[in-house]
Structure 1
Amino acid sequence: MAEARQLREYVPAEVPESTTPTSIEGGDLVGGATDHTVWSCAGNLTAVRSVRARVREFLAGMGHSENVLDDAELAVSELATNALLHSRSGQSGGVMTLFIRSDGGRLRVAIADQGERSGEGGHTRDDGDDFGRGKLIIDSCASRSGEYWSEATHVAWFEIDDLEPALSLDEEAL
């Protein structure tokens, strides 16, 4: 758990001024109150399932539509899997951290990993073999996406604009 606290210290709340994120379109969550959650977990194969479940549960509780829940769940699966395959988070003792923010009709999900893998085993982010489709999947699910690096972490994120809020229980009864 000490590693999770260390990782959170290295992950800035916003993109640092000194970095240029790669993104489809820029944009930060703006407007009213923002509800958010932060969760760190061990970097193992069960982590991806846990991350998906946490995203779905949190966003459903915030009233996001079923289509957005499906898109967010698929996109975060890609981010978490990439963190396990390509970073120290997937090695023994590794940790990754999930960040979720929801503000009205927009949500942002990010996965912070522990940076490039050390030693043998795993794949680098530059491998071209049978990799590279994850970004296409994320881009098809998200309104915006990007990534940035800090001293000890890599953060990949996406945002989805939810233009179809979920029906309330009263509306479903009609």
Structure 2
Amino acid sequence: MKHTLSVLVEDEAGVLTRIAGLFARRSFNIESLAVGPAEQAGISRITMVVPGDDRTIEQLMKQLYKLIPILQVENLTQVPCVERELILMKVQANSQTRREILDMANIFRARVVDISADDVMLEVTGDPGKMVALEQILTKFGIVEVARTGKIALKRSSKVNTEWLRYNFGEGGT
């Protein structure tokens, strides 16, 4: 199972290196990593996606707390939260396929950020599932390049689980 961890750290040189070293020593892979300033000056938020079972992730979180600049570690996997990613995707587009690509981009609320005779570059922001779906659909046209940020996430103050709402009252419900 993939777990999303949110880690607050003090801005110090080498913090990310120490965290990466901890993961490497324990043979953990970090599938996604995003780092940026948090709400308070001098503090950064690291959001990472890590595969592992609940027990292993719990052990990893305890190890993270032992690192000096770590202020808070939170597993957001089972917590109602908002998750987002950004993807830039360059797709082959000629006069025959351009309209269909632009229609797909419109459905996914993607923005065209560059266009040439041979390709279209799209910018898409959304939940990780949206990124995977768009990439699968556009693969048939030929994806030239992709740049994708890591997942970022914040716990919902409302505590509303939108996945539960979507399933029970939206597409998956009765």
TM-score, reference length from structure 1? 0.28
Structure with higher RCO (Cα < 8 A, 6+ apart)? 1
TM-score, reference length from structure 2? 0.28
User: Larger helix proportion, structure 1 or 2?
Assistant: 1
